[in-house]
Structure 1
Amino acid sequence: MSTKSNITFSRRAFMRTSSLAGGGMLIGFNLLQSCKPEVKLEPEIDLSQLDYKDFNAFIKIAETGEVTIFSPNPEIGQGVKTAMPMLIAEELDVAWENVYVEQGILDTENYTRQVAGGSQSIRHGWEPLRQTGATAKQMLINAAATRWGVDPSECMVSEGVITNAAGETLGYGDVVNEAALLEVPEDIKLKDPKDYKIIGQNIQNVDIDKITTGKPLFGLDYKKEGMVYASVLRPPAFGHKLISYDDTEAKSMPGVIDIIKIGEKVQKLFEEDPSFESKISSSDKVVVIAESTWQAMKAKEAIKAEWENDILMESTANHDQMLTGFLDGTQFDTRRKDGDVKKAFAEADMVLERTYESPFLPHNCMEPMNFFADVTDEKVHLVGPIQTPAWKAGLIAKLLGREEDEILLEMTRMGGGFGRRLYGDFVVEAAEISDAIRKPVKVIYSREDDMAVGVYRPAIKYRIKASVKDGQITGYHLKEAAINDNMYGLIPNFFPAGAIENYQVDTKSYKSNITTGAWRAPYTNFLAYAEQSFFDELAEVMEVDKVQLRLDLLKKVDADADERIEYSPERMIKVIETAVEKSGWGTQPKGVYQGFVNYYCHNTHVSEVADVVIENDSPVVKKITCVVDCGIVVNPLGALNQIEGGVIDGVGHSMYGDFGFNEGIPIAHNFDRYRLIRMKEAPKVEVHLIQNELAPTGLGEPTLPPAGGAVANALKAATGRRIYQQPFTKNPELLKVLEEPVIG
C-alpha cells in the first residue's frame, strides 16, 4: 500500500518565485562514445529556448512535455546530482530518459540543507524530495481531471501521461499551465517500494558525457568575460606573519596586472567577531593579479617576502610527544560513562591495553582549490566548488558588510572534496581580492599551495583498555588524544557502547597552529581501525573466535532501552553473517590470510573481510569483500562506485598515507613526497548489499573506516605481528614475513 507522508509545504515554499540558472544537457549517451572513432554526439537541447513553467523550486515542465529537475545539493562525486533527481522523478512518474538535470544554485528560501558532508544528502532528502515529486504529480492530475470534469481518483499516471477511466490521455505538457496555478494539495501519498520504476535501477551519472568529453563542469572550467586570475602568496609555515615584501621583479613580468596585499578585512572581522571561521588565516597575504594562471603563479615565485614567527612553531615530534603525554595524564573530558571501569580493571583476571596512532593527512583533491568572485555595488557573484554554499554566502556577507540577499552563489561540480571544501578560506580570498580590485577574478591554488596551506585530518592517538573476568569482557576504556578537535576521531555511542557493562570514553585536545578539520568519514576514519584491531587481539588473548566475540557482544545490546545507542545490533549481525558467508571466512586455501571487521558510521552498517597473500616476501592485499546495509539503494550503479571508492581509499591511506610538519612547515608539498595508493595496488572489491525497504542512509563514507582494520587484521594473520601505527608501511613487520606465519 502507499505511504502517507506527514511533510507539508506552504504554497510560498512550493511554488517557484525566483529565476534559476539556465542551460542543461541531454543524458543517456554511451559511457565511452567519446573514445570511439567517428562518433557524432547527439545534439544537446537548449533548454533555455523551451517554454517552461517554473513548477516549483525543483521541477520545470515545458508545454512540450520536457521535464527539468534541479539537484539542490553540491556534487563532489558522491552521485547526488543523479540520485536526488531520481527521487523526484520516481514520484513525479516520468520516464527517466525524458528528464534533464541541472545543478541548483544556492537558494535558502526554497531548499534546505544544501550541504555535501557526512553522507547525509540522500538520507535527509528521502522524504522531502519524493514529496516534491508526488505533490507536483497530483497537481498535474488535478488539472487534467478538471479539464475532463472527472474526479482525480479516476485518473492514473504512467511516464508523464495521465489517463482517465474512459481511456482519454493528456501529457504533462498539456496541462502544466493550469497545474502551476492550482493550490498545493495536502495528504499526498507516496509510492510503495514495490511500485518503484526508477529508484533501484542502475542510472548513469548525468554528467558522464560532459566529463568524458571535457565539457566545462568544474570550478576550474568557469570563465567570465573580463575575468583576471589571482595567485596568492601565503605564509610558508603555520604561525608565520608577513613583515614586508618586494614585488619589483614580479611586477615587471609578462601578463602581470597588479600586486596587492589582502588580509585587512579578515583581521577586522576577527576583532569584531571572534567566532569567525577558525580555518581562515588572519595573516596578511600578497596577491598577484595576472592575465593567466601561469603568469600569476610565476610572478608569485619572484616576490621576495619576509616573515616572522608570530607563534611557536611546531614539529611532528612535538605533536607526538604531546599526544602521548595527554594519554598518560588524568585530565580528560568524559563523553560517556557506564558503570565503573576502574573497578572492573581491579577485579579482572586479565587486562589488555594498546595504543594506536595516526598522522595528519591532507585531502589532495584532484581539482585544487579555486573560486570565482565578482564584487560590484549591486551584488556579489560567487561561483565555484564548495560543499557548504549557505555557510560561505553568510561568511562573505559578514566579510564585505553586505546583506545575504546580495550574495549570488552558484555551485559547480567538484573534482573531489573529502571535507576540504567544507571550509571557506579560498572563497574568502576570492571575495576579498575582487572587492579590492573591483574586477571578476578567479583564485587558483597550485598543487603545492593545496597541500601546504590546507585543512588537515588531525593527528590522533587512541589508548584502549579492556578487562576480562570469567571469560567475559567486563570493562572497556577508550581514551583519545587529538590535535585541535577532540571529537574528530570519536563517537561514544557507536559499538561497543551498550554491549559492555563498564564502558567509558574520554577525550583530550591539544591546540595547534595547524588548521585541522573534517577528512573523509570524520570521527571514524582512524577509530574503526584502532577498535577493530583491538577486538581481534582481545579475541586472541581470550582464546575465542573473533567473529563470535563480536556477535556475542551485539546480542547483549538493548538499543530500545538505551536511546543513546546509534547503531542497530540486529542490522549489524546481519551484515556480519553475510560477510562470513560471502567472503568464505575460515575456508580459504592455504596462503590466503583473512582479516575481519564490522563497523557502523554515517548511519550505515558495514562488514569487510580482507584477503592478503604473500608475494615476493611481502604481504599484498588482493581482495576486500564488503557487505553494506544502507537501506533502500536509490542507484545501485552509483552505490557500487561509492562503496568501491571508499574501500580503496581506506586501504590506500591506511597503508601509505603519511604527513607531518617540521617547525610548522609541511614535509611534503606534492605527490613526489606524499604517497597515494597506485592503480596496480588497488584490491578487487566484491560488494554485497543487504536488501530491505528501510529508508536509505549514507554511502559516500561508511566503507572507508573499516577497510584499514580489515587489512591490519589480515596482515596479522599473514605476518604474525600486530600493527599499531598508520601508515602500515612504516611498520618493519610488513617488510619481513615470518618463516611460519601465524594464521589468525
Structure 2
Amino acid sequence: MKNIVSPSFSRRSFIKTSSLAGGGLLIGFNLFQACKPEAAPPVDISKLNFNDFNAFIKIADNGIVTIFSPNPEIGQGVKTAMPMLIAEELDVLWDNVHVAQGELDTENFTRQVAGGSQSIRLGWEPLRQTGATARQMLVNAAAAKWGVEASECTTKEGFIFNANGDKLGYGEVVKEAAALKVPENVKLKDPKDFTIIGQDINNVDIDKIVAGKPLYGMDYKEEGMLYASVLRPPAFGKKLDSFDDTEAKKVAGVQSIVKFGDKIAVLAKDTWTAMKGKKALKANWISDETLESTEDHDKKLIELLDGKDFDTMRSDGDIKKAFEDVDQVIERTYESPFLPHNCMEPMNFFADVTDEKVRLVGPIQTPERTAGAVAELLERDLKDVSVEMTRMGGGFGRRLYGDFALEAAEISKVAKKPVKVVYSREDDMSAGIYRPAIKYRISASIKEGKITGYHLKEASINSNMYGLIPNFFPAGAIENYQVDVASYQSKITTGAWRAPYTNFLSFAEQSFFDELAEILEVDRIQLRLDLLQKVKGTTDERIQYSPERLENVIKVAVEKSGWGNSKEGVFQGFSAYYCHNTHVAEVADVVLENEMPVVKKVTCVVDCGIVVNPLGAKNQIEGGIIDGVGHAMYGNFSFKDGEPKDKNFNSYRLIRINETPVVETHFIESDVAPTGLGEPTLPPAGAAVSNAIKAAKGIRLYKQPFIENMKKEKAPLG
C-alpha cells in the first residue's frame, strides 16, 4: 500500500511505443490494470484521430500531452483525477495536458466500468508507472542526444535538464524516444515531491459544462435520427394485451410506431412530438398474478426475519450459546423503503442498427456489459457492436444497467432507422431500477455489562450483492458474531444504489451501537473505541477495515466537531463507518424548528489515503453526505398493485436547497495509496442524523424516512 516504491514495469503491461507520422510519440499504457497485456496500438497510426486510439497517451512534438481516458465519467471526477496521476509522474505542466474520452475497446481493455468507487484505487500505481516510464524514455532520449548519462538528467514542467545547464523540451526528443526500448524499472516520485497530486484541479470539462456545450447523452444527435418515447407497462407484473395507435398517428410529426415485447415506441423528429404521441396511445394491460404492494413487501420481509431460511455469511464463536447465557438481550428492527435513483439526466441512449454494424452512443457505466447484452439480443457478433461514451448527468448505480440501451437497439432494428430513446422524468421514476426495500434485525447479548454476542439478520428484495458487509465493523470486535441474509424475488426490478447495502446498514448498526451505549450506561464514543481495540493485531484476513484508521477518524471527528461542547439548542449525533475501502466519521449538528429536526452542519473526517484532487474529493464528500441526509430524512417510494405511487418530483420528496447542511471536511494526512470517495460518506450520514435527533427529541428512529415517520402518531419510535 505504500507509495514510495520503484516498481518493476513489465514491457508486456506497458504495451508499445510508436512514432506519429505528424510528429510526436504514441505510448500504449496499462490503465489501472484495464489494458490487456497483448494489446497493441492500431496498425496505421498516421490515419488516427482522437477517437481512434483511446488506449494510449500521445506526446506531441510541441510538448502537449493528450491522455485518452477509457472509463465512464459520471461526475465522480475520474476524467480529471486519473490523468493527474500520469501527468504527475510525467512531470509536465497540467496546463499542457489535454484529456479526451475514449470509446469502448474490448480488444485492449478489460474493465471499462464506473462503479464501486474503485477507479483511483485500482489506477494509483499503474497510471503513475505509465507517466514515470514515459518520462524516463524522454530522459534517455535527451541523454543520448547530449552524450551524457541519463542519471545526470532531471525533469521539470515538460523540460529535461543536464548538469551543464542544457535544456530540451519533451517535444524536441519525442521522435528519438519513440525508437527506444521501454525501461524495465522506473522510480516513482516521493509524495513530498508531488506538484500536481494534492492540488485543487478544476474538472477538465468544467468550461464546457458551464457553457452548455454538448457533453451528455441528452445532447447527442445525428442527421436523420429519430427520437423514441416508449410506453411501458404501468405496473410491475402487467403485460400488454392490445393497443390502439389511431390517435397517436394523428399527432403531427409522428413518424412511426413500433411494438417490441410488451412496449410500444413512438418515433418522431423531436422529443416533444414523440412524447405527445405516446400520450395519445391507448393500451390494454393484463396480469395473470397478484400485483405487489408495499404492504405485501413489508409483510414478506418480516416473515423472512422471523423465519429460519437464511444464508450465513459469517459466523464467529457460538452465537446460540452467547444468547442463552445472558443478563439481557437487546433486539431492534430497522426498515428502509425502495428508492429510485433520480439522476439529473434521465435515461437516454442512441442506437443505429444496420446490417453491417451496431453503433451505440450514450451515458452508460458498463459499456462492455451493455455491448454484450445488445449483441446477444440482436443475435450479432460482439465485434459488430461499438459503444461511444458520453458524459453522464449522474449514475448512482442506475446506469450500471443498460436496459435503456437495449430498448434503443431493438427499436432501431425494427424501425431500420437511427434512434435515440429518451425517458421523461415519469419514465425514469416508474420504469425501474430501484434500491431494494430492506429490513435489518440486530440482536446483542449482554453479560455483566459487556457485549458478548452480535447477530445481524438481513431480509431484502432481490438481493444478490451481499459482498463484504459481514467483514466490516463490528466483525472481529465481538467474539460471538453472526451475519445471516435472506431475500425473495419480486417482479419489481432492483439493483445497486449509491453505496449498495451500506447506504442503509450503516444507519441501522450505528444507531444500534448508540442505543447499546445508553443501555450499558457507557460513553458512545468510548464503546466504539473499546471494541476496536479488540481487532488490533488480528490475523483474520477476512476483515476489511483497519481498526487503527477507524479509531483515528473517530478521534479527529470528536475534536474537529467540538463533540460534547455544542452551543445551546444544538444537538449532536455521531457515526463512524468503513466501506469502499475508506474510513469515515461524521458528526451531525441538529436544531429544532417548530419541534422538527433541521440538520445544520455535518463535520466529516475521511481517511482515503493520499488525496489526489482535494477539490474533486470535497465535491464527492459533500455530495455523498447531502445525498445521505436527504434520503434518510425524506426519501420514500412505495407501490400499490405493482405501480409506483410517485412518478415525479411534485409528489416524491427530495432534500431542498434550504435544507442542505454545511459540510465541514477534514482529511487524514496519509502516505498510503488512495481509496474510494464516491460512496463512503453517504452511509454514515443517516446514522449521525438519527443519533442527533435522539439527542434533540428523546426518540429513537428505526425506520426511514425520518420526517415522514416522525409525523405519524404510530411511527416506530422508541
Answer whether TM exceeds 0.5 for this pair: yes
**Equivalents in 2 of 1:535, 1:730: separation in Å?**
24
> What's the counterpart of residue 272 of structure 2?
294
Q: 2:230 matched to 1:252? A: no
Match 1:315 to one of 278, 288, 293: 293
Q: Which amino acid aligns with 1:541?
A: I
Deviation digits for residues 128-152 of structure 1, max 9, x if unmatched? 1111111211222222222223332
Question: Residue 190 of structure 1 aligns with which residue?
Answer: 188
- Tell me which residue corresponds to 1:65: 63
Equivalent in 232, 239, 242 of residue 241 of structure 1: 239
Relative to structure 1, the CA distance from residue 17 to residue 124 in structure 2 (aligned partners, 3 Å threshold; closer, same or farther) is farther
1:476 Cα deviation from its structure 2 partner:
0.3
What TM-score do the two structures reach when normalised by structure 2?
0.93
1:4 partnered with 2:6: yes
Q: Aligned pair in 2 of structure 1 residues 68, 539: CA closer, same or farther (>3 Å)?
A: same
Distance 1:16 1:221, change over 3 A: farther
Which amino acid counterpart does residue 153 of structure 1 have in structure 2?
Answer: S
Matched to 2:455, the amino acid is: H
Between the aligned partners of 2:574 and 2:270, the Cα distance in structure 1 is 52
| Equivalence map 1:496-535=2 (5 Å) | 496-535=474-513
**What's the offset of the Cα at 1:7?**
4.6
Deviation at 1:246, TM superposition (A): 1.1
* Contact residue 120 and residue 674 of structure 2 kept, 8 A: yes
Q: Distance in 2 between matches of 1:238 and 1:541?
A: 44
Secondary structure, in 3 states, of the residue corresponding to 2:15? helix
Instruction: Report the 3-state secondary structure (helix = DSSP H, G, I; strand = E; otherwise coil) of the residue aligned with 2:432.
Output: coil
Q: Secondary structure at the match of 2:671?
A: coil
Distance 1:53 1:510 in 2: 45
Structure 1 pair 477–183 and aligned structure 2 pair: CA distance change class (3 A): same
- Three-state SS of the structure 1 residue aligned to 2:284 is strand
Map Cα deviations across residues 533-574 of structure 1 (whole Å, 9 max, x no partner). Answer: 000000000000000000000000146411110000000000
Q: Contact between 1:486 and 1:507, CA under 8 Å: does it hold in 2? A: no
Moved more, 284-293 or 510-519: 284-293
Secondary structure of the residue aligned to 2:502 is coil
* Cα displacement (A) at 1:484: 0.8
Q: Which amino acid aligns with 2:419?
A: V
Distance verdict in 2 for CA 1:139–1:164, change over 3 Å: same
Equivalent positions of 1:387-398 (< 5 A) are 387-398=365-376
Give, in whole Å, the separation in 2 of the partners of 1:238 and 1:56: 40
Given the superposition, is the C-alpha separation of residues 142 and 7 from structure 1 closer, same or farther in structure 2, using an over 3 Å criterion? closer
Which of residues 460, 465, 482 is equivalent to 1:482?
Answer: 460
Alpha-carbon distance between aligned partners in 1 of 2:19 and 2:112, rounded to the nearest angstrom: 18
SS of residue matched to 1:4? coil
The question of whether the paired residues in 2 share the 8 Å contact of 1:14 and 1:57 is answered with no
Work out whether residues 484 and 512 of structure 1, in 8 Å CA contact, stay in contact via their aligned partners in 2.
yes
Tell me the distance in 2 between the aligned counterparts of 1:573 and 1:498. 14
Q: Which amino acid aligns with 1:96?
A: W
Alpha-carbon distance in 2 for matches of 1:490, 1:311: 36
> Residue 468 of structure 1 contacts residue 474 of structure 1 at CA under 8 Å; is this kept in 2?
yes
Q: How does 1:201-220 map to 2 (within 5 A)?
A: 201-220=199-218
Q: Give the Cα–Cα distance (whole angstroms) in 1 for the partners of residues 401 and 51 of structure 2.
A: 36
2-side partners of 1:311 and 1:490: how far apart? 36
Q: Equivalent residues in 2 for 1:225-236 (5 A)? A: 225-236=223-234
For residues 669 and 459 of structure 1, what CA distance do their matches in structure 2 show? 18
- Asked if the contact 2:460–2:488 (Cα under 8 Å) also holds between the matched residues in 1, the reply is yes
Structure 2's unaligned 5+ residue stretches are 22-45
Aligned residue number for residue 174 of structure 1: 172
Identity %: 70
Q: How many Å separate the matches in 2 of 1:533 and 1:641?
A: 26
- 8 Å Cα contact 1:11/1:184 also seen in 2: no
Maintained 8 Å contact 2:18/2:178: no
Cross-structure match for 1:87: 85
Which amino acid is 1:257 matched to?
Q
Match of 1:668 among 640, 643, 646: 646
Conserved in 1, the CA contact under 8 Å of 2:216 and 2:393? Answer: yes
Match of 1:269 in 2: none
- Bigger drift between 378-387 and 306-315 goes to 306-315
SS of 1:162's equivalent in the other structure is: strand
* Aligned partner (choices 465, 468, 492) of residue 446 of structure 2: 468
Residue 695 (structure 2) pairs with residue 712 (structure 1)? no
Q: Which moved more, 1:54-63 or 1:152-161?
A: 54-63
Matches within 5 A, 1:15-30: 15=17
| 8 Å CA contact retained: 1:201, 1:636 | yes
Q: How far is 1:488 from its partner? A: 5.2
Equivalence for 2:38: none
Cα 1:52–1:103 shift into 2, 3 Å: closer
Separation of aligned partners in 2, 1:579 and 1:236 = 47
Counterpart in the other structure of 2:72:
74
Which residue type is aligned with residue 555 of structure 2?
E
**d(CA) in 2 for partners of 1:141 and 1:515?**
55
Shift of 1:341: 1.5
**CA gap 1:677/1:16 in 2 versus in 1, 3 angstroms:** farther
Deviation at 1:52, TM superposition (A): 9.1
Q: 1:13 aligns with which of 2, 12, 15?
A: 15
Deviates more, 1:52-61 or 1:587-596: 52-61
For each residue in 1:367-410, what CA deviation from the matched residue of structure 2 results, as whole angstroms up to 9, or x when unmatched?
Answer: 00000111223322111100011111111122222222222211
Distance 1:559 1:514, change over 3 A: farther
Tell me how far 1:56 sits from its aligned partner.
Answer: 8.2
Q: How many angstroms does 1:228 deviate by?
A: 1.1
Cross-structure match for 2:39:
none
What's the offset of the Cα at 1:487? 3.8
Task: Go from structure 1 to structure 2 and tell me whether the alpha carbon gap of 1:409 and 1:2 turns closer, same or farther (over 3 Å shift).
Answer: same
Q: Distance in 2 between matches of 1:418 and 1:73?
A: 15
The runs of at least 4 aligned residues of structure 1 exceeding 6 Å deviation read 16-19, 48-56, 733-737
**Residues 90 and 423 of structure 1, relative CA distance in 2, 3 Å threshold:** same
Superposition deviation, residue 735 in structure 1: 9.2
Rounded to whole Å, the distance in 1 between the matches of 2:53 and 2:137 is 10
Measure how far apart 1:16 and its partner are. Answer: 7.4
Q: Matched residues in 2 for 1:120 and 1:12: separation?
A: 21
The whole-number CA distance in structure 2 between the counterparts of 1:191 and 1:311 is: 64
What one-letter code is carried by the residue in structure 2 that aligns with 1:5? P
Shift in alpha-carbon separation, 1:180–1:107, aligned structure 2, 3 A: farther
Residue 140 in structure 1 maps to residue 138 in structure 2: yes
In the TM superposition, residue 164 of structure 1 has moved relative to its aligned partner by: 2.1
Give the letter aligned to residue 335 of structure 1: M
Q: Which residue of 1 aligns with 2:42?
A: none
Deviation at 1:54, TM superposition (A): 9.4
User: What are the ranges of 5 or more consecutive residues in structure 1 without an aligned counterpart?
Assistant: 20-47, 264-283
CA distance in 2, matches of 1:302, 1:401: 33
Are 1:107 and 2:124 matched, yes or no?
A: no
Contact kept, 8 Å, 2:54 with 2:101, in 1: the verdict is no
Pairing 1:157-172 to 2, within 5 Å after superposition: 157-172=155-170
1:700 aligns with 2:650: no
Confirm or deny: 8 A CA contact 2:18 2:179 kept in the other structure.
no
Partner Cα separation in structure 2 for residue 225 and residue 191 of structure 1: 49
Match of 1:455 among 404, 418, 433: 433
Structure 1 570/141 Cα, relative in aligned 2: closer, same or farther at 3 Å? Answer: same
8 Å Cα contact 2:55/2:70 also seen in 1:
no
Deviation at 1:590? 2.4
The DSSP-based 3-state class of the residue aligned with 1:614 is strand
RMSD: 2.3
Range with bigger deviation, 162-171 or 128-137: 162-171
Deviations 1:207-255 (A, max 9, x none): 1111111111100001111111111111111111112111111112111
Deviation at 1:55, TM superposition (A): 9.2
In structure 1, the partner of 2:561 is 583
Structure 2 contact 51–102 (Cα < 8 Å) conserved: no
1:567-716 equivalences in 2 (<5 Å) = 567-716=545-694
* Residue 513 to residue 149, structure 1, CA distance change in 2 (3 Å): same
Are residues 65 and 667 of structure 1, via their aligned partners in 2, closer, same or farther at CA, if it must alter by over 3 Å? same
Q: Which residue of 2 aligns with 1:37?
A: none
From the superposition, tell whether residues 604 and 528 of structure 1 become closer, same or farther in structure 2 (CA, over 3 Å): same
